[in-house]
Amino acid sequence: MTIKAEISNFYEDLVVDFLINEYSDQGFSKDEFNDIACLALNHLPARYYRHSVDMAFFLTTPDRVEMRERVQKAVDEAVLQVLAYRDESDDIT
């Protein structure tokens, strides 16, 4: 086993879940979803864990609320960036 296989970034989970729940029916391609996730994650801190139970145990309710709000803001801004790029690409062709 490598270290990479043993650790995860909690924000990655939150971003992907938010994207699926809020934007899965918006007509984004797989590449656009990946771009949105990367752009959003670049504006969020890393919060690594080894076992998901660790996050459930150590996060307070205010921490969870703050993390969700940060994810929503980062994803919404990333969506706007991808849509703007899509519009620019359409203008070129």
| pLDDT higher than 80, residue 87 | no
> Residues 11, 67: contact at Cβ < 8 Å?
yes
In percent, the amount of the chain with pLDDT more than 90 equals 72
> Residues 79, 36: contact at Cβ < 8 Å?
yes
Q: What residue spans of the chain are helical by DSSP H?
A: 3-6, 10-23, 30-41, 52-58, 61-92
- Which tokens is 41 given? 């994650």
- Which tokens is 57 given? 């145990």
- Which tokens is 69 given? 């709000």
Rounded to an integer, what distance in angstroms lies between the CA atom of residue 11 and that of residue 70? 10
pLDDT tens profile 26-54: 999 999 999 999 999 999 999 998 887 87
- pLDDT of 88 reads 74
